[in-house]
């Protein structure tokens, strides 16, 4: 076991830090306030290789792993959770096409999704089916060389901005998860329109919108993997996605802890810095401890993934723990800043709003507990 970053990981962390300090740190508040997605910065992330970390070099990736990818995501999330989510969401079509796509699909999409020339998103959730993902109703009817698709997707991160979507749709109606198929949908296809920009508690610099699919003709060649294999593809992609959400949450928590620590050593009350009071320093100690524990859990899930070992349970544990830690840390950071914590002049309240959604996206933390407990039961059943 090795708990230290290797040379490549150290270099990567230094270079993403430099990028973030130059291109992101000073602009986040403005993007959030104006509800503006920084498409130019996303493109620059791609041009600098940060969007292609865990993908093969032959498709313009860096040929590294999730252990490196989470370093990048955490650093981005420390300054812009919106951008980190955009990168994580871009990763879902990347990993699905990389793992399940045919050669043509890989050649057409992977290099551009890594370079930032195209951006991607993931369309699973529907107005009536969120946690119960296998009940989705969007339907794709085969007509010769095309599938004609009708339905509505909801709460889609990066909808309207993203060029390429992995769309999950039923291609049969028996009610089984084996009816669901994955397709590559592009935003320029006839019949694709987007709903209003949802007004959200946080992550305002990345759009969340509905996608309406009205007789959209998707070429059969855009099917990813086999017909009826889409639900498994979505679940496997979410296993990986949950690691990226964990690292995003750790980035938010780290930023909140640093903000609270700096405040606590400079703010004076009763003639001393407030950090002299254990009511302030002990919560800071808990923050540091829990963030480190969350990071180790996330690194372990990433390590298992990179090693080709099962990691579904570990990814859910990392997502569950890291996002709950982020919620606790950001709430306590607001408390340490007192009245200033509640004001928009300080970033603490933004971190708290951003942490909340991490407990919801890519499977609520109740769903993570379901996944973890089901696997525990399966493991013990195999032993007895």
Residues designated as active site: 362
Residue 250 contacts ligand CAA per CB under 6 A: no
Residue 122 contacts ligand CAA per CB under 6 A: yes
- Helix runs in 48-176, H state only: 66-79, 81-100, 103-115
Tell the smallest beta-carbon distance from residue 72 to ligand CAA (Å).
Answer: 17
Site stretch for ligand CAA (CB under 6 A), options 69-77, 100-108, 161-169, 231-239: 231-239
User: Is residue 209 helix, strand or coil?
Assistant: strand
Residue 298 contacts ligand CAA per CB under 6 A: no
Residue 134 contacts ligand CAA per CB under 6 A: yes
Interface pick for ligand CAA out of 239, 254, 349, 354 (rule CB under 6 A)? 239
Residue 125 contacts ligand CAA per CB under 6 A: yes
Strand pairing partners for 169? 181
Residue 369 contacts ligand CAA per CB under 6 A: no
d(CA 246, CA 316): 9
Token pair in block for residue 349: 């309240």
C-alpha closest to that of 164 among 109, 99, 219, 235: 109
d(CA 91, CA 251): 18
Interface pick for ligand CAA out of 24, 53, 81, 124 (rule CB under 6 A)? 124
Token pair in block for residue 115: 């370079």
Whose Cβ is closer to ligand CAA: residue 93's or residue 341's?
93
Residue 312 contacts ligand CAA per CB under 6 A: yes
Residue 79 contacts ligand CAA per CB under 6 A: no
Tell the smallest beta-carbon distance from residue 166 to ligand CAA (Å).
Answer: 10
- Size, binding site for ligand CAA by CB under 6 A: 23
Question: Binding mask 143-172 vs ligand CAA (x if CB under 6 A, - otherwise)?
Answer: --------------x---------------
C-alpha closest to that of 151 among 180, 120, 176, 119: 180
Give the DSSP letter of residue 174: S
Tell the smallest beta-carbon distance from residue 243 to ligand CAA (Å).
Answer: 12
Tell the smallest beta-carbon distance from residue 147 to ligand CAA (Å).
Answer: 21
Residue 126 contacts ligand CAA per CB under 6 A: no
CA angle, corner 277, sides to 272 and 281, nearest 5? 120
Tell the smallest beta-carbon distance from residue 293 to ligand CAA (Å).
Answer: 23
Whose Cβ is closer to ligand CAA: residue 228's or residue 273's?
228
Burial of 135-146, coded b for 16+ CB within 10 Å and e otherwise, reads ebebbbeeeeeb
Task: Kindly report the length of the chain.
Answer: 384
Site stretch for ligand CAA (CB under 6 A), options 13-21, 194-202, 235-243, 291-299: 235-243
Tell the smallest beta-carbon distance from residue 333 to ligand CAA (Å).
Answer: 23
Interface pick for ligand CAA out of 113, 149, 223, 238 (rule CB under 6 A)? 238
Give the DSSP letter of residue 80: -
- Element housing 286 (H / E): helix 278-306
Q: Cβ neighbours of residue 76 under 8 Å, at least 6 residues apart?
A: 16, 20, 24, 45, 50, 83, 84, 87, 248, 251
**Strand stretches in the chain, DSSP E:** 120-123, 139-143, 146-157, 164-170, 180-186, 192-194, 208-219, 223-224, 268-269, 272-273
Contact residues toward ligand CAA (CB under 6 A) are: 85, 89, 122, 124-125, 131, 133-134, 157, 177, 231-232, 235-236, 238-239, 312, 361-363, 367, 370-371
């Amino acid at each position: 076991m090795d708990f230290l970053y290797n040379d490549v990981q150290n270099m990567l962390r230094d270079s993403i830090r430099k990028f973030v300090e130059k291109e992101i740190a000073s602009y986040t508040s403005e993007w959030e306030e104006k509800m503006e997605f920084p498409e130019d910065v996303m493109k620059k992330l791609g041009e600098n290789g940060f969007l292609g970390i865990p993908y093969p070099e032959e498709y313009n990736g860096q040929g590294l792993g999730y252990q490196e990818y989470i370093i990048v995501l955490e650093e981005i999330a420390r300054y812009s959770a919106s951008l980190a989510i955009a990168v994580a969401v871009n990763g879902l079509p990347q990993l699905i096409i990389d793992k399940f796509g045919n050669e043509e699909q890989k050649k057409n999409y992977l290099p551009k999704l890594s370079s930032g020339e195209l951006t991607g998103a993931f369309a699973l959730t529907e107005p009536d089916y969120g946690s119960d993902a296998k009940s989705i109703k969007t339907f794709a009817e085969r007509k010769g060389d095309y599938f004609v698709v009708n339905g509505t997707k909801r709460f889609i991160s990066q909808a309207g901005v993203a060029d390429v979507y992995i769309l999950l749709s039923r291609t049969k109606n028996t009610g089984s998860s084996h009816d669901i198929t994955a397709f590559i949908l592009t935003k320029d296809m006839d019949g694709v329109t987007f709903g209003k920009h949802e007004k959200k508690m946080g992550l305002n610099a990345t759009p969340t919108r509905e996608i309406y699919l009205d007789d959209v003709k998707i070429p059969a060649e855009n099917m990813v993997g086999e017909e009826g294999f889409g639900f498994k593809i979505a679940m496997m992609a979410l296993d990986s996605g949950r690691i990226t959400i964990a690292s995003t949450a750790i980035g938010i928590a780290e930023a909140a802890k640093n903000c609270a620590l700096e405040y606590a050593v400079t703010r004076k009350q009763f003639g001393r810095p407030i950090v002299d009071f254990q009511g302030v320093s002990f919560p800071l100690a808990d923050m540091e401890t829990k963030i480190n524990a969350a990071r180790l859990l996330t690194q372990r899930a990433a390590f298992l993934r990179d090693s080709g070992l099962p990691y579904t349970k570990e990814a859910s544990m990392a997502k569950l723990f890291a996002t709950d830690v982020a919620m606790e840390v950001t709430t306590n950071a607001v408390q340490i800043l007192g009245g200033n914590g509640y004001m928009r002049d300080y970033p603490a309240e933004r971190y708290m709003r951003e942490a909340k959604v991490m407990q919801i996206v890519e499977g609520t933390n109740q769903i993570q507990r379901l996944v973890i407990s089901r696997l525990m039961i399966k493991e013990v059943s195999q032993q007895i």
